[in-house]
Structure 1
């Protein structure tokens, strides 16, 4: 396998060792994010099928192309954690690690003798990220939870879709990725605390629904102050006007004309200075009252024009606007390419795949794609040899199905 080009800059997290347990989206996304910035990430997978994400959605050469993104910059150790020998190997790895990521149902690791008390005794500096549906405590802790359920309980699903119609999903597993990003924030915070406070590790407890709830803006304060229950509003931004999706002759354009001066420029661009100069529309509160009228005026103008013309006219008027991008639009957009957000990655199956670049962008220690996603167990021998096991010991473990 030809490696991807080496990083030209030092990696911010170089020297950090992460053990990733769990599967699918939330835990692995956290591991990917740390790996993108230089952490050594050893992913433990069950022998046989491995992480189910290997087989999700569209497959090329028998492997999901989603897997190629989720597991880049990682090593794969095929290890059966249901066996005592597998658990012993995992403990030895964790004893030398900085971070453990797991997204099992609460109690799973405890059942294997790898709860926080046991692991922190082995490794007092360990930072343990635990992502679950409902958190490690509370009356719902033992219920099964996926990202979709977290989105519903966190309040997001109630706001998605058109008023009066069935709530819809965002289109991606946003509950899982929000939990992962909150988890990464927790890991980096805990590592800083460990550095400046005597080397002590700690647990980061992330619940899927709480990660969603944390980004719900004024949802609860509005209910607390006014008893207001925010409802679905389609493409509009409730209480902010004008900000909506407007139909053009060949598609839709999102227009955010909700700043006071921006609104005036928008009305001038569409030839409606009667609205632009109306005293009651000079601020957002007044515009919210007449939002239906304003939206109708904007769409009357946009309907007779194509998306490109609308964007060109609004760009000249310095009004924030954009089309609704498809995957094709993203890949063909020069801005994405200029900022290295679409990058080629050579897979271990020998083909090159366009994948998302690294976010966020650091000036001195940017993230990088150092290795492509592994086949199941690609790194089993190397990891075990690094622990001091001999070839004979590894072969014995393999014969018993403990590793693969």
Structure 2
């Protein structure tokens, strides 16, 4: 955790992936992020996979370094407390609908005169109000119908969904950026902002920003499936003699030269160049257009050597490559995890399970990254936040607890 945003407090009322990710990234940079949930836990509180004690590992990791307040968000009083917390704090991240009790208008209307002008970031589904989630916007994006083996028929083959909810994580990161941009604007002008970020717009906008939309319109049709080949450049998975699968990529002249030297294929490459009247060192286009013949040359060598020998030769020649790992192998890999300063010692996780935890992805050499912080227990900071933010006395908080409007830490449950 870096301490770059220690003067910033954010109320987060969210669930699932995108919205908690936005808060997580702010918290890892030092912001005080106060997550407000329904007293029994939000929709993602028991999201699979659960430990034997019933703790969600997903929730635990998306809510590190945050504080937790648990309110009865189904009651009028609980909702009023939530709105007041957001209003007095001045910054809110949420994925609740705009027409819910936590609208930007409601938060702004509840602000005291000395509060900073309300700034909120709201994650939506589609721009027109329709509901959406990562896997449905991905279906609309066109990407799943580009995935799969090269020989699959474009008309009849099924889509291939990605496992990673990438649009959620991209949206979360974008929302953290959008919030800080709005806060900088407020610092300059004194005027807050309502920011709405539709998940679907992040997906279709990324399709456009990547150039793929222009490509589809220019070609007047869909791109063919490429299997594991890289579109527009040289790269694919290969299999060594001992059955190890690995990925190589050559997008620059240096990478291409290193790959040719590592595989010792200068002679067959020169022969192919003469046959097709081209120079593969000139750029991506000739390598991509003749990829099948090139793939055969490289696979012939890969299939004749064990991976360790190939790995040594590729490393010596500065190639860009990586061995395929299972998710479990990646999680236990000494280079990726044990020797990586991204990971710190396991904090005291609510689940009681010890495992590597991440610091901020960014590396700021002049600043101390600190150790990873644990996720809170649900309601762990209810008393503290209500006292500090709303000025409630212990007796008033006790009455709210007795009435079931406020819940305290679920540590002992």
Normalized against structure 1, the TM-score is what?
A: 0.88
Q: Which residue number in structure 1 is paired with residue 410 of structure 2?
A: none
Deviations 1:299-341 (A, max 9, x none): 1111222333222111112221111233323433235444422
Structure 1 residues 53 and 213: CA distance shift in structure 2, 3 A? farther
2:197 maps to which of 195, 206, 213:
206
- State the alpha-carbon separation in 2 of the partners of residues 68 and 117 from structure 1: 31
2:358 maps to which of 356, 378, 395:
356
Q: 1:96 aligns to what SS in structure 2?
A: helix
- Residue 232 of structure 1, CA deviation: 3.3
Q: 1:134 aligns to what SS in structure 2?
A: coil
- Residue 366 of structure 1, CA deviation: 5.3
- State the alpha-carbon separation in 2 of the partners of residues 99 and 366 from structure 1: 26
- Residue 56 of structure 1, CA deviation: 1.7
- Residue 126 of structure 1, CA deviation: 2.3
- State the alpha-carbon separation in 1 of the partners of residues 183 and 366 from structure 2: 20
1:65-76 equivalence runs, <5 A: 65-76=57-68
**Partners of 2:90 and 2:116 within 8 A in 1:** no
Structure 1 residues 55 and 192: CA distance shift in structure 2, 3 A? same
Structure 1 residues 104 and 92: CA distance shift in structure 2, 3 A? closer
2:347 maps to which of 342, 345, 348:
345
Q: Which residue number in structure 1 is paired with residue 387 of structure 2?
A: 385
1:400 maps to which of 399, 403, 408:
403
Q: CA RMSD in A?
A: 2.3
- Residue 186 of structure 1, CA deviation: 0.6
Structure 1 residues 190 and 225: CA distance shift in structure 2, 3 A? same
Q: Which residue number in structure 1 is paired with residue 146 of structure 2?
A: 159
- Residue 106 of structure 1, CA deviation: 4.2
**Partners of 1:68 and 1:373 within 8 A in 2:** yes
Q: Which residue number in structure 1 is paired with residue 281 of structure 2?
A: 282
1:148 maps to which of 135, 138, 144:
135
Q: 2:149 aligns to what SS in structure 1?
A: coil
Q: Which residue number in structure 2 is paired with residue 325 of structure 1?
A: 325
Structure 1 residues 367 and 101: CA distance shift in structure 2, 3 A? farther
- Residue 379 of structure 1, CA deviation: 1.2
- State the alpha-carbon separation in 2 of the partners of residues 84 and 126 from structure 1: 22
- State the alpha-carbon separation in 1 of the partners of residues 306 and 257 from structure 2: 22
Deviations 1:55-98 (A, max 9, x none): 42142532022222111111111112232211221222112224
Deviations 1:22-46 (A, max 9, x none): 2111111111111111111111111
Deviations 1:162-181 (A, max 9, x none): 34342223222212111101
Deviations 1:356-399 (A, max 9, x none): 33212223345545641122211111111222212222222223
Structure 1 residues 231 and 105: CA distance shift in structure 2, 3 A? farther
Higher relative contact order (CA 8 A, sep 6+): 1
**Partners of 1:71 and 1:373 within 8 A in 2:** yes
Once the two structures are overlaid, the 10-residue window that deviates more, 333-342 or 175-184, is 333-342
Q: 1:52 aligns to what SS in structure 2?
A: coil
Normalized against structure 2, the TM-score is what?
A: 0.86
Q: How many residues align?
A: 385
Q: Which runs of 5 or more structure 2 residues have no equivalent in the other structure?
A: 408-413
- State the alpha-carbon separation in 1 of the partners of residues 162 and 236 from structure 2: 17
Q: 1:345 aligns to what SS in structure 2?
A: coil
Q: Which residue number in structure 2 is paired with residue 3 of structure 1?
A: none
Q: Which runs of 5 or more structure 1 residues have no equivalent in the other structure?
A: 1-6
- State the alpha-carbon separation in 1 of the partners of residues 56 and 116 from structure 2: 37
